[in-house]
Amino acid sequence: MAPRIIKSNVEIKASDIALHKLLIQSCRNHSKNLFLTEYETGAQFNYEQLYNDCLSVAGALNQIGLNVGDIFMVYGFNCYEFVVALLSGLLVGGIGIPMRGIDTDYELRREIKSQNVKFLFIGSQMRDLASSVKADFKQIKRVILFDSIESDSMFDTINVMKRSENKLNESEIYDPKGNRDSIVLIMESSGTSGPAKGAMLGHYDFATAFQTSSVFFSELDTAICSSPLAHMTGALQWFHAICCGRHLVSLRNPTLNNVLDAIKKYEIKRVTLSPSTMNALNKMEKHIDLSTFRVLTAGSRLPAEVAREFINKYKISQLVNCYGITEAGGSISFNTDVARNYNSVGKVIAGVQVKVVNPQTGALLGENEEGELWVKTYNAFKGYYNNSELVSSIIDSDGWIHSGDIGYYDENEELYVIDRMKDIIKQSGFGYSPVDVEEVLLQHKDVREAAVVGIPDADEGEISHAFVLLKEGISKGTIDEECLKNFVNERVSALKQIKGDVHIVNELPKTPLGKILRRKLRSDYLNNYNCI
């Protein structure tokens, strides 16, 4: 059959309701349903509480001057008040940036500066950090503490705002008035190259995008949410739950033992697991009953052997594999029956088009021909914040997103992702750019050049290894590799820490123009890279 564009036969209508309005209306419509149980505290909240608390906090934010278009950040761990802070800011027209509580002081400051954050919601356990950040960044108008704190002598708190006498009416909620270019969220993305960047998502088109991926999320089973809301997988889980009135169990510290305990305690039948977590379950000697489970995996490539062993060992009722990227608004395709085809990421969802292209010539490829996957969606992605030049390198003039992933489709129009052109490291289901780590290494006084690559790892999918060229006059004997490793790991979140080795080398492979060849470095290492 001739080369073609792959798309779903299902048509979808673009949302005419902005994301924040859709979410708050859903809270009202499901007011009697249980919304959230916090695993660590046991605290429970229903949708009526969420509805009222969000409108009260939004009214208070109006009073203290959070204006339409102001960028606000929510920095903390999965908990009820994280959701309240994020949704409340959106209700008054703010642009939200959710950020993981495990991200470091260094990473927080970098994002505040680069994203021009005006309001900062921060977990109360980071109060000292809040004080120093407020002093260092004059652009920040207000710092608001949340997460189990009643009041504070220096800062506003979510709990005080919940009692605001200026509660917002639904008629006062910010209305983008059909402007499909208006921005609702800025989500961290590794993109296809360079350091982490802020992907801007639109009010209406992101609402369309996440509703189309409801194939796994539509039923009302209680579900675990271990992914942070700052990660696209987590955001989709939280938003889907709110839209259909589902009960979620949130975990701040989603260790394997905590996840398993929550599953047993709350009789959960629906869970999202990364391939690395599935692999860890495969290695457990203790057997647990998952036979009635529906499991979704996303965030990184699912090795066929891991999927096969997981299904055979636990006899689960359904394993769903999702492929997506932040720039596509989340999901691109779903394989809803991995046991039928372990290697496939399934068929594209409604509203999505995919084509496979020769990356050198741009020619459209046919069945079983490997090339770069290009994706066209509902235009949820509105560009990178403060980085318009980069957008043209990932989206062409016809609106196709160049994913940087290598794959193909078969005669049944099922997609397969087999490799990537981009340098992104996928560790435990989270993707990040090696540049984020290299930038920290280059701050060390003895480092001249650095390159970081992902090396396959049975437990985590990939782990990072760093290759370092020292400054002239500095010999290997005067510096310890562990010191360099610790220098980085103290400054980046656990998700980006160097878990492999730091290798001091004589040279780094480069192009004639001086660009470091990470792919060659990776392949050389796998073939016994010769470190000094």
Give the pLDDT confidence score for residue 110 in this predicted structure: 92
Mean pLDDT, rounded, for 11-23 = 90
Give the pLDDT confidence score for residue 444 in this predicted structure: 93
The pair of structure tokens assigned to 168 is 């917002």
308 burial level (CB within 10 Å; 0-12, 13-18, 19+): middle
pLDDT tier for residue 431 given thresholds of 50, 70 and 90: confident
pLDDT above 60: residue 135: yes
> What's the pLDDT tens digit per position in 146-163?
987 888 888 999 999 999
Ramachandran bin of 177, using left for φ above 0, alpha for ψ from -120 to 50, beta for the remaining angles: left
Ramachandran bin of 185, using left for φ above 0, alpha for ψ from -120 to 50, beta for the remaining angles: beta
pLDDT tier for residue 277 given thresholds of 50, 70 and 90: confident
CA–CA separation, 318 and 336 (whole Å): 7
pLDDT above 50: residue 530: no
The single-letter DSSP state of residue 364 is: B
Give the pLDDT confidence score for residue 49 in this predicted structure: 98
**Cβ-Cβ contacts under 8 Å for 333 (sequence gap 6 or more):** 322, 323, 324, 345, 346, 347, 348, 349, 352, 354, 415
pLDDT tier for residue 518 given thresholds of 50, 70 and 90: confident
> What's the pLDDT tens digit per position in 347-390?
999 889 999 999 889 999 999 999 999 999 877 889 999 888 88
Asked whether this chain's domains 30-35+42-175 and 425-526 adopt the same fold, the reply is no
Question: The pTM is what?
Answer: 0.84
Give percent of the chain with pLDDT exceeding 90. 56
CA–CA separation, 426 and 417 (whole Å): 14
pLDDT above 50: residue 456: yes
Domain ranges of the chain: 30-35+42-175, 425-526
Distance from the first to the final alpha carbon of the chain = 53
Give the pLDDT confidence score for residue 147 in this predicted structure: 87
Class of the CATH-defined domain 30-35+42-175? alpha beta
Task: Count CB atoms within 10 A of the CB of residue 67.
Answer: 14
Give percent of the chain with pLDDT exceeding 70. 96
pLDDT tier for residue 531 given thresholds of 50, 70 and 90: very low
Measured at the CA of 173, the angle between CA 169 and CA 179, to 5 degrees, comes to: 160
Give the pLDDT confidence score for residue 532 in this predicted structure: 42
pLDDT above 70: residue 215: no
pLDDT above 80: residue 234: yes
> Residue 285 CA to chain centroid, in angstroms?
31
3-state secondary structure of 211: helix
Which has the higher per-residue pLDDT, 48 or 302?
Answer: 48
Give the pLDDT confidence score for residue 514 in this predicted structure: 67
3-state secondary structure of 57: helix
CA–CA separation, 433 and 442 (whole Å): 15
From the list 164, 161, 210, 207, the residue with the least C-alpha distance to 183 is 207
- CATH number belonging to the domain at 425-526, selected among 3.30.300.30, 3.40.1500.10, 3.40.50.300, 2.60.40.3080: 3.30.300.30
Can you give 293-356 as a three-state secondary structure string?
A: CEEEECCCCCCHHHHHHHHHHHCCCEEEEEEEEHHHCEEEEEECCCCCCCCCCEEECCCCEEEE
3-state secondary structure of 284: coil
